[in-house]
C-alpha cells in the first residue's frame, strides 16, 4: 500500500493564500493533488490541512477523509515530520491496512513531472533506504563561493578546507534540499524524530523543476515556467 500525502496549510506570510491560489488555471494544490491521484502506483491520497475549503476540495477529488489537521500542527513553526506522522496514522486508520511506502509532495513545488514521482519510487525500491529526498545540485557551494562574516565583520568562506578551493569543479558536491518528492519507509517515519536520523539518499531533479513558492518573486518565476510548459 503506497500512500500519497500533501501538506497544505491555509496560512502563508510570503504569498498569502498561496496553496489555493490560482496558478495557470487551477489551484496550486491541484498541481500536486492531481498528479498523485493520476499516478497508478499510488493507492490512496491524503491531504493534511487546517483549511476547511481546501479540505472539502481534496475530499471531493478523492482524498481520504481524515479530518482537519490538529491545531498544534497548523502553526508557522510546526515541523513537517510531525505533520507526516499524524497523516500516516490517520490515513492508515481509514484504510484498515498497513502502509508500506509514504510519498509526500510539497504543495508549493508544482513544477514536478510524473517521472519525478516514479523515479523516486524506483530509487526507493531498488536501494531500500529509510528515505529518498529530492535534491538539486546547488548553484552556490559553501566550500567555494558562499561566505559569512566573522566576529569582526570580515568575510570568510563558509566551509574551509586545507589549501582552499579555487575552482568550483574541485569543491565537494553540495545539494539543495527541494520539496519535489519524498519517499519514506513508514517504520522510519514513526520511530525517527527528524529527517536525517537514518539513511537518507538523494533523488536528483533539474533546477527548472525544483523551484518552491516562498516569495512573490518565486511565484513570478514558477508561473512563467508553467506557462512556458503549457504553451
List the CATH number of the domain containing 77. 3.90.550.10
pLDDT over 70 for what percent of the chain?
100
Q: Is residue 212 pLDDT above 80, yes or no?
A: yes
212 with 100, same domain? Answer: yes
Per-residue model confidence (pLDDT) at position 137: 92
Per-residue model confidence (pLDDT) at position 73: 85
- Residue 155 in grid coordinates: 568575510
Domain total in the chain: 2
161 with 215, same domain? Answer: no
> CA–CA separation, 60 vs 113, rounded Å?
23
- Number of neighbours of residue 84 by Cβ within 10 angstroms: 22
Q: Which of 108, 110, 113 minimizes the C-alpha distance to 215?
A: 108
Given CA atoms 89, 114, 49, 15 in this order, what sign does their dihedral have? positive
> CA–CA separation, 173 vs 18, rounded Å?
33
191 with 214, same domain? Answer: yes
Residue 15 CA to its chain's centroid (Å): 17
At residue 72, what are phi and psi to the nearest 5 degrees? Answer: -65, -20
159 with 148, same domain? Answer: yes
- 101-132 residue pLDDT tens: 999 999 999 999 999 999 999 999 999 999 99
Q: Is residue 192 a contact partner of residue 125, using CB atoms and an 8 Å limit?
A: no
212 with 223, same domain? Answer: yes
117 with 162, same domain? Answer: no
85 with 54, same domain? Answer: yes
Least confident residue range of 16-25, 67-76, 144-153, 202-211: 67-76
Query: Angle 32-132-82 (CA atoms, 0-180°, nearest 5)?
Result: 70
Query: Angle 81-176-31 (CA atoms, 0-180°, nearest 5)?
Result: 65
Query: Angle 52-110-53 (CA atoms, 0-180°, nearest 5)?
Result: 10
8 with 93, same domain? Answer: yes
Instruction: Give residue 92's domain range.
Output: 2-135+175-230
143 with 158, same domain? Answer: yes
Report residue 194's pLDDT band, with 50, 70 and 90 as the boundaries.
confident
> CA–CA separation, 117 vs 27, rounded Å?
20
Span 51-60, average pLDDT: 95
Answering whether pTM is above 0.95, one says no
- 60-92 residue pLDDT tens: 999 999 999 888 888 777 788 999 999 999 999
Q: Identify the H or E element spanning 190.
A: helix 186-191
117 with 156, same domain? Answer: no
The conformational region for residue 86 under phi > 0 = left, psi -120 to 50 = alpha, else beta, is alpha
Q: Which of 203, 134, 184 minimizes the C-alpha distance to 5?
A: 184
115 with 218, same domain? Answer: yes
124 with 24, same domain? Answer: yes
Amino acid at each position: 500500500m503506497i500512500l500519497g500525502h500533501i501538506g497544505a496549510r491555509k496560512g502563508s506570510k510570503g504569498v498569502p493564500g498561496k496553496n489555493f491560489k490560482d496558478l495557470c488555471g487551477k489551484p496550486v494544490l491541484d498541481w500536486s493533488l492531481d498528479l498523485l491521484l493520476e499516478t497508478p502506483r499510488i493507492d490512496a491520497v491524503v491531504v493534511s490541512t487546517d483549511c476547511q475549503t481546501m479540505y472539502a476540495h481534496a475530499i471531493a477529488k478523492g482524498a481520504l477523509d481524515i479530518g482537519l489537521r490538529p491545531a498544534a500542527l497548523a502553526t508557522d513553526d510546526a515541523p513537517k515530520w510531525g505533520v507526516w506522522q499524524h497523516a500516516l496514522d490517520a490515513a492508515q486508520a481509514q484504510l484498515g491496512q498497513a502502509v508500506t511506502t509514504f510519498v509526500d509532495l510539497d504543495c508549493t513545488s508544482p513544477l514536478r513531472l510524473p517521472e519525478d514521482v516514479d523515479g523516486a519510487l524506483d530509487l526507493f525500491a531498488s536501494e531500500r533506504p529509510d528515505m529518498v529526498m529530492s535534491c538539486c545540485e546547488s548553484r552556490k557551494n559553501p566550500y567555494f563561493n558562499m561566505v559569512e562574516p566573522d566576529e569582526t565583520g570580515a568575510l570568510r568562506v563558509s566551509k574551509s578546507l586545507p589549501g582552499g578551493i579555487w575552482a568550483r569543479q574541485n569543491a565537494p558536491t553540495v545539494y539543495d534540499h527541494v520539496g519535489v518528492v519524498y519517499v519514506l519507509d513508514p517504520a522510519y517515519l514513526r520511530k525517527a524524530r527528524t529527517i536525517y536520523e537514518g539513511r537518507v539518499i538523494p533523488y536528483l531533479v533539474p533546477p527548472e523543476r525544483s523551484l518552491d513558492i516562498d516569495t512573490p518573486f518565486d511565484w513570478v518565476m514558477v508561473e512563467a515556467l508553467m506557462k512556458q510548459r503549457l504553451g
